[in-house]
Amino acid sequence: MPLAPTLQKHLDQNVTYEVITHDPTMSSTRTAQACHVSGDRLAKAIVLRRDGGYMLAVLPASHHIRLPDLRQQIGNDVALADESEIKRLFPDCELGAVPAVGECYDLDVIVDDTKNTQTSSVVTARITRGMLWVDRKLVSTREYAAENKGTKDRVLIIEHPFRPGWKLVDTQKPLETTPSVYRFKATAQAGKVSTLLVKEELTTSETISLLTTDVAQLLSFSKTAQIPSRIRDAIARAVQLKQAMEEIERQRSARDRELAEITAEQKPTTPVAPNTTTFSPWNVRWRRTFRTFSTQATMAAAVVKEPAGSANSETSNGGTCAFLAAANISSAWIAFLPPKKIPVRTPVFGGREKIAS
């Protein structure tokens, strides 16, 4: 679906952005999967009713809002808005597609400020049958903080989303693991802020075609220290070949354009009479046309670059015809060419001319 007009106008005036299209989904988590984005890096919005007004809660797609905890922070009069209220607040948005930008709809916004980081690094790479296989390690960390304002220590149970394929590292052992969450037990000391750091790793493989991948991306891989030197050298060689191939393609396109221009110039403005075979070599029109043919045949030969000794390197009438054929010159104009034996009028002193054949 297209961007809501109100949101698009706000973005156009304030930020530079890119639109990622995807098929309709039933949840923000599925949207993250469809866009190939981690759920921790996709923001979702939840409309709340508070003190007779409305506000927007923005949090990662992988998180869930807990109204009891939220009421402890901002007050008891907080509830989820229903569909009719959301439709009235966001008239140009589809249900379930509320943007995580409240400013353009005159709504206050509260944001989940949990400290999350995610990094990606290349582990190694290999080349098989023209394909570059890159292994990456994703490292995700999330810090949970809880402030105990009481005078007694309290026991905390912290739930962290369980993600298939991700492995806990450098993290305390969870009290319980379910198909959807890890549960960690911690102690919140009286009058202090207690934190829990959860770190996870995921190794993924990426397949890249050396033939179709952009040169800039290949160059970045050729300079990645984690990739073995022999693989980096092979990638650098592939970049050189791709650049040479692009240059050859550019030259071929330029030659095609030159040949097309020569062919267009050779097309007659008026058709040649069916019974016309040759013009007299003394005809002014024939001389002018033959000079033009000779010049353009030479140009065509230079573009085509036939090897020495071929038909295009000859100087006879047969060679000229071969030039014209190489340049796709209309066969109707070949009628202007003279026979092989052309009488040549040679001037002689004394006012007389000698005709040699």
pLDDT digits (tens, 9 = 90+) for 7-64: 888 888 888 888 887 778 888 878 877 777 777 678 888 999 888 889 888 888 877 7
Residue with the bigger pLDDT between 299 and 183: it is 183
3-state SS assignment for residue 110:
strand
Of 14-28, 82-96, 260-274, 298-312, give the lowest mean pLDDT range: 298-312
d(CA 160, CA 62): 10
Taking CA atoms, 259 is separated from 264, 266, 307, 310, 335, in Å, by 9, 11, 18, 19, 21
Structural domains in the chain, sorted by start: 5-113 (3.90.960.10), 116-209 (no CATH), 271-356 (no CATH)
Dump pLDDT digits (tens) for 324-347.
444 444 433 444 444 444 444 444
Helix (H, G, I), strand (E, B) or coil at 199: strand
Q: Among residues 55, 153, 164, which one has the least CA distance to residue 103?
A: 55
* 254-283 per-position pLDDT tens digit: 888 888 887 776 665 555 555 554 555 555
- Summarize pLDDT for 216-245 with one digit per residue, the tens: 888 888 888 888 999 999 999 988 888 888
Q: What is the pLDDT of residue 336?
A: 43
- Helix or strand or coil: residue 249? helix
* Confidence band for 146, pLDDT divided at 50, 70 and 90: confident
Interval 202-219 mean pLDDT: 86
CA-wise closest residue to 68 among 78, 54, 58, 81: 78
